[in-house]
């Protein structure tokens, strides 16, 4: 299953109830995990415990109010969950290096935009320079998309620390700085803000501005655990519809090699045996008609799809592929290749299978599956 979805839902809940009493037990229950398991998942994904994340978000919100409101420091401290101004002062100084009073005294109204969770990056500050990029300049920037996808693949296969090898003098400054911040454990919101400030306070040509945005958004996506194919789609959206033919040519979207890739994949899996130690779902897949199977497959994320493919026999895998659009089959091939060096283990596959069984049961209750 895709644990990122559970973590993102938890973060959404935290953002909506940031000033309220937030407990690990409640979020774990919402995510249908034990308290221990959810604690481990959240720390793995975010690089810090849930309560550390909550405290940092509250401190950042408090810092914003110190600059952009006239409320007293004591009132801000109480509103953001601190029992006393002294506790607030100590926590604030640990994070920012100065006290709240000193921070307010600096009157730091940032020249660049202050990004909050959920803000759209496509504002005028982004659009104006990108709109003036020539097609030739955009074409040069496609190599950055390739590099971000490569970094994502490396991170998923070898872990985040493997990206330290990318820190070299030949790398662009923003890429070096972003990797340094990421490896030092800077949380995503601060990471985004720091790189944004570097970009918006620099004198950049239209092409270099687009390159910087691609690096920032790509690294942020890597930090959030997105997969290479997700990052590709995210970054290509900055190039515009009028550039799509060049995108298609660069990534071989209409290339006959994609058809060959599907055929090679089919040949490689058709004689596979079912994976031992997992739940035998093959009999369930065999009984389903095509419409019901298609309906179930629409409910699965790519990790669940890879999991059932790895567990199923070749005959079942071919039946599943027949029910998928070609674009999703190609994504499945990418995902299977991504996990070839870092295999999904049996407990992960069984976990995904249990979630799939729950979805099938629910769809049957709703009359969506026969």
Residues 223 and 279 in one domain: no
CA distance 100 to 91: 10
At which of 220, 251, 282 does a domain end? 251
CA distance 154 to 159: 7
Residue 109 has pLDDT above 50, yes or no: no
Q: Is 243 helix (H, G, I), strand (E, B) or coil?
A: helix
Longest dimension (CA), the chain: 70
Segments forming the whole domain that contains residue 20:
3-106
240 torsion bin: left (phi>0), alpha (psi -120 to 50), beta (else): left
Residues 245 and 132 in one domain: yes
CB 175 within 8 A of CB 219: yes
- Res 11: pLDDT: 82
- Res 344: pLDDT: 62
Residue 28 has pLDDT above 60, yes or no: yes
198 domain-assigned: yes
CB 327 within 8 A of CB 253: no
The percent of residues in the chain predicted with pLDDT above 90, rounded, is 15
Residues 143 and 238 in one domain: yes
121 domain-assigned: no
18 domain-assigned: yes
- Res 343: pLDDT: 57
For residue 248, the tally of other CB atoms under 10 A from its CB is 12
For residue 253, the tally of other CB atoms under 10 A from its CB is 13
Domain of 55: which CATH number? 1.10.10.60
Separation in Å, CA 357 to CA 78, 98, 348: 46, 53, 14
CB 311 within 8 A of CB 349: yes
Residues 152 and 247 in one domain: yes
Structure tokens at 137: 């300049």
CA distance 89 to 211: 39
Structure tokens at 130: 């990108």
Q: Environment class of residue 319 by beta-carbon count within 10 Å: exposed (0-12), middle (13-18) or buried (19+)?
A: middle
CB 214 within 8 A of CB 106: no
Mean pLDDT for 160-165 is 84
- Res 123: pLDDT: 47
Mean pLDDT for 131-153 is 92
262 domain-assigned: yes
- Res 362: pLDDT: 84
- Res 216: pLDDT: 94
CB 73 within 8 A of CB 88: yes
Residue 138 has pLDDT above 60, yes or no: yes
Mean pLDDT for 349-365 is 82
Q: Which of 4-13, 94-103, 170-179, 357-366 has the highest mean pLDDT?
A: 170-179
Mean pLDDT for 68-86 is 85
CA neighbor of 274 nearest in space, from 283, 263, 265, 261: 283
Dihedrals φ, ψ of 205, to 5°? -70, 165
113 domain-assigned: no
87 domain-assigned: yes
Q: Which of 297-306, 310-319, 325-334, 344-353 has the lowest mean pLDDT?
A: 344-353
Residues 240 and 137 in one domain: yes
Mean pLDDT for 5-10 is 76
Domain of 345: which CATH number? 1.10.220.30
Give the total number of structural domains in the chain: 3
Mean pLDDT for 299-327 is 86
- Res 318: pLDDT: 92
118 domain-assigned: no
Average per-residue pLDDT for the chain: 81
CA distance 370 to 353: 19
| pTM, rounded to two decimals | 0.60
How does pLDDT run across 247-260, given as a tens digit for each residue? 888 887 666 677 88
Residues 132 and 177 in one domain: yes
At which of 251, 279, 314 does a domain end? 251
Residues 242 and 315 in one domain: no
How does pLDDT run across 211-257, given as a tens digit for each residue? 999 999 999 889 878 889 989 999 999 998 889 889 888 887 666 67
For residue 151, the tally of other CB atoms under 10 A from its CB is 22
Q: Is 66 helix (H, G, I), strand (E, B) or coil?
A: helix
CA distance 217 to 204: 17
For residue 311, the tally of other CB atoms under 10 A from its CB is 25
CA distance 256 to 369: 35
Q: Check the CA dihedral 15-19-24-27 and report its sign.
A: negative
What long-range pairs does 20-26 form, CB within 8 A, spacing at least 24? 21/81, 22/50, 22/54, 24/50, 24/51
CB 67 within 8 A of CB 108: yes
Residues 149 and 217 in one domain: yes
Q: Check the CA dihedral 184-228-188-22 and report its sign.
A: negative
370 domain-assigned: no
Residue 149 has pLDDT above 90, yes or no: yes
Residue 106 has pLDDT above 70, yes or no: no
Per the listing, tokens 């959206």 go with 237
The percent of residues in the chain predicted with pLDDT above 70, rounded, is 89
Residues 42 and 98 in one domain: yes
Residues 228 and 264 in one domain: no
Residues 27 and 143 in one domain: no
Mean pLDDT for 198-202 is 86
At which of 106, 134, 169 does a domain end? 106
Residues 169 and 94 in one domain: no
């Amino acid at each position: 299953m895709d644990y990122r979805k559970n973590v993102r839902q938890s973060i959404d809940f935290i953002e909506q109830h940031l000033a309220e009493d937030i407990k690990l037990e409640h979020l774990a229950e919402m995510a249908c995990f034990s308290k221990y398991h959810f604690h481990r998942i959240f720390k793995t994904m975010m690089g810090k415990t849930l309560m550390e994340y909550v405290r940092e978000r509250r401190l950042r919100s408090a810092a914003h109010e110190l600059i952009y409101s006239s409320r007293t420091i004591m009132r801000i401290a109480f509103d953001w969950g601190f029992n006393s101004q002294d506790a607030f002062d100590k926590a604030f100084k640990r994070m920012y290096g100065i006290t709240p009073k000193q921070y307010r005294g600096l009157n730091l109204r940032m020249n660049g935009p202050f990004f909050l969770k959920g803000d759209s990056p496509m504002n005028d500050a982004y659009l104006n320079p990108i709109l003036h990029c020539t097609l030739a300049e955009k074409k040069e920037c496609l190599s950055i998309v390739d590099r971000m996808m490569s970094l994502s693949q490396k991170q998923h296969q070898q872990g985040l620390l493997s990206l330290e090898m990318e820190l070299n003098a030949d790398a662009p400054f923003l890429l070096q700085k972003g990797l340094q911040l990421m490896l030092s454990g800077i949380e995503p919101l601060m990471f985004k803000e720091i790189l944004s400030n570097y970009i918006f306070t620099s004198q950049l040509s239209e092409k270099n501005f687009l390159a910087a945005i691609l690096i920032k958004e790509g690294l942020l996506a890597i930090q959030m655990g997105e997969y290479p194919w997700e990052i590709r789609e995210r970054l290509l959206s900055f190039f515009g519809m009028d550039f799509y033919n060049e995108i298609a040519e660069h990534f071989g979207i209409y290339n006959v090699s994609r058809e060959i890739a599907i055929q090679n994949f089919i040949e490689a899996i058709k004689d596979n045996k079912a994976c031992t130690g997992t739940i035998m779902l093959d009999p369930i897949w065999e009984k389903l008609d095509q419409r019901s199977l298609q309906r179930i497959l629409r409910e699965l994320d790519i990790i669940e799809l890879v999991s059932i493919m790895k567990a199923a026999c070749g005959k079942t895998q071919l039946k599943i592929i027949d029910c998928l659009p070609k674009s999703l089959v190609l994504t499945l091939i990418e995902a299977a290749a991504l996990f070839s060096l870092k295999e999904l283990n049996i407990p992960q596959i069984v976990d995904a299978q249990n979630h799939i069984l729950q979805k099938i049961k629910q769809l049957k209750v709703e009359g969506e599956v026969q």
